[in-house]
Chain A
């Protein structure tokens, strides 16, 4: 198991505090420690997705059944969600997306940049309340704020975790 970084442990704690025990994901390196923490907790149901939009429908169905959860992805996955976000909006399903950013801060791979540069605006256009977080020390409060607004306000929310916090991937360059 990869030990979670302290900000990843903070996310895990916030999810548990809000009883968000269904965690769906397409993996991103930035979420490694959190995914491992979720998978090693028997009270958390982790659901590996083939594409991020599945997670919006999955968590909407879970909410219909009285369960809460969160959706983990990297920024390129946000683009895969666009039409499915209309489900959250038109039905006012709570949604918490935790998005690790690529193509944003010192990105080495130009193929990540188009989506990374439009993630926040795209989500806002789709009616998602978006929060950015640059500093590991702010993660707990920011994810907590988003979680509360989603489950208590029936809102679609996203926390964009900055590439600056994660450290840019360089492939040795």
Chain B
């Protein structure tokens, strides 16, 4: 594998700040977070009943967001996941394109590493380009986010544009303190449905 092994250690964007900025104006958006560090980043921005942080199901974050977006066409759905998690479910980008949900945004925090398992290089440390893949899968609104200025633009697009949208955010490879969300899946599910759909949805 041809790899520029350390370039992502120099990237200016820091993942916690990126997620904090993107979620600052979330309003009533629904958020699905991919396993590991992206789930910790989303939780660091504020635990919320309308977050669904995954602790497993690697490769499934985008599909989960798609199902949610189709079920709730009037709510914005934001999937925030890692490059490793996205690589395991690349086909789901084509499925998003087949459905063209106008309320779905996908944000990949691309540190070019499998952070959770010891910072091994992912394919994006080489020549693999997730933004190009998302575009070629059929998602027309794709954004490459490399700088603070790009991030400012991304925050505007996220709120104003119709989806589906894909943001490939190059973030610095860094290990940060864990900020763990609740981890009982059944409880997270009921908490989410209670907040979104009301009492009868968990007590029916």
Contacts and interface: CB of A to CB of B under 8 A. Distances in A.
Interface of A: 22, 45, 47-51, 53-67, 69, 83-84, 86-87, 90-93, 154
A65 B71 contact: yes
A92 B202 CA distance: 12
A67 B193 contact: no
Nearest to B32: A61
A152 to B, nearest CB: 9
B119 interface: no
Contact of B89 (A54, A67, A69): A54
Contacts of B64: 57-58, 60-61, 64, 87
A47 B61 CA distance: 16
Interface residues of B, number: 38
A64 B185 CA distance: 12
Contacts of A83: 56-58
Given A50-B92, A54-B63, A84 B98 contact: no
A91 B189 contact: yes
A54 B91 contact: yes
A58 B30 CA distance: 15
Interface of B: 30, 32, 52, 54-61, 63-72, 75, 89, 91-92, 94-95, 98-99, 185-186, 188-189, 192-193, 196-197, 201
Given A45-B70, A51-B91, 8 more contacts: A49-B91, A54-B63, A54-B92, A58-B64, A58-B66, A60-B67, A65-B30, A90-B56
A64 B139 CA distance: 24
A62 B95 contact: no
B59 A53 contact: yes
A87 B193 contact: no
A168 to B, nearest CB: 29
A62 B71 contact: yes
A57 B71 CA distance: 13
Given A47-B98, A48-B98, A62 B68 contact: yes
Contacts of B95: 47-50, 54, 58
B189 A58 contact: no
A57 B72 contact: no
Given A54-B63, A57-B60, A57-B64, A47 B91 contact: no
Contacts of A56: 60, 63
Contact of B66 (A61, A66, A92): A61
B185 A87 contact: yes
A62 B70 contact: yes
A77 to B, nearest CB: 13
